[in-house]
Chains A and B, each alone.
Chain A
Amino acid sequence: KNEVEQSPQNLTAQEGEFITINCSYSVGISALHWLQQHPGGGIVSLFMLSSGKKKHGRLIATINIQEKHSSLHITASHPRDSAVYICAVTVYNTDKLIFGTGTRLQVFP
C-alpha cells in the first residue's frame, strides 16, 4: 500500500462543475502539499497545509490531521484547470517528500 493515496486517478468534468480530489496518507507529516503539473512537466505549488483550510481564488484545500486526509476542491471549473494534481507530504521532522500518484483532470467546455 502506498503511503500517500489519491483518488480518483482520472476525472472528467464539464466547465463550471465543482471538483473534489482526495488524498490520504499513512505517515506522520509536518506538511501536506497540493501541486499542479501541466503537460510538458512544469510543477506549481498550489498549497502547503499543516492544519485547517486554505483558499486561493477558486481553489480550496482542507486537511484533517486526525483522519490523515486532505481534499482539494475546485469551484466553477474551467478548461484551463486541466492538469495533473499531485498530493505530497513532508515526512515529519525531515525535508523528505512522498508523492501520491496524481489525479488527471480534464475539464471540457
Chain B
Amino acid sequence: KAGVTQTPRYLIKTRGQQVTLSCSPISGHRSVSWYQQTPGQGLQFLFEYFSETQRNKGNFPGRFSGRQFSNSRSEMNVSTLELGDSALYLCASSLLGTANTGELFFGEGSRLTVL
C-alpha cells in the first residue's frame, strides 16, 4: 500500500512569507503527527491530529498551525517565516496514535529554506 506522502519535497521562501505543507497518511490511518528537524535542535514534536482534532501540541509559537481533513490528510502552516524556521518538516501517520498502536510511518519530509 502507498506510504506517507509529503508535498512539496523542497521549497525556498523569504522571511515574512508563509508556507503550507501537506501530508497524506497511509490509507486507514487516522493519526497524523508533525515534526521539525534542525541541526541545532534535532527532532521536535509540533502537533498531532486525530479525526480532524488536534490532540497534542508541542512547544512552538502560534505561527505554527495545522489542520486535518475528513480524509485524514493534514496540512501545516507556518506564517511570518523566520530564518530559524529553515528545517526538515516530517509527518508521520499511525493507525490510532502512538499511545495506542505505536508504530509510526514517516514521510520523506519537506525541506524548507528561509532566506
Contact A90 B106, CB 8 Å, known A98-B45, A99-B42, A101-B42: no
**Which range contains the number of B residues in contact with the other chain?**
20 to 34
Contact A95 B33, CB 8 Å, known A41-B108, A42-B108: yes
Interface residues of B in 59-115 (CB under 8 A from A): 88, 90, 92, 97-99, 102-106, 108-109, 111
Task: Judge whether A94 is part of the interface by a CB distance below 8 angstroms.
Answer: yes
Whether B42 lies near A96 (C-beta < 8 A) is no
Whether A41 lies near B103 (C-beta < 8 A) is no
Residue of A nearest to B55 (CB): A95
Interface residues of B in 4-57 (CB under 8 A from A): 31, 33, 35, 37, 42-45, 48, 50, 55-56
Chain A residues within 8 Å of B102, by CB: 31, 33, 48, 50, 90
If over half of A's interface residues share one DSSP class (helix, strand or loop), that class is named, otherwise mixed; here it is strand
A71 to B77, CA, bound (A): 36
Q: Which of B99, B103, B108 has the most CB of A within 10 A?
A: B99
Chain A interface residues (CB < 8 Å from chain B): 30-31, 33, 35, 40-45, 48, 50, 86, 88, 90, 93-102
Beyond A45-B104, A48-B103, 12 additional pairs, beta carbon < 8 A: A30-B98, A31-B102, A35-B104, A44-B106, A48-B102, A94-B56, A95-B48, A95-B56, A96-B48, A97-B35, A99-B44, A101-B42
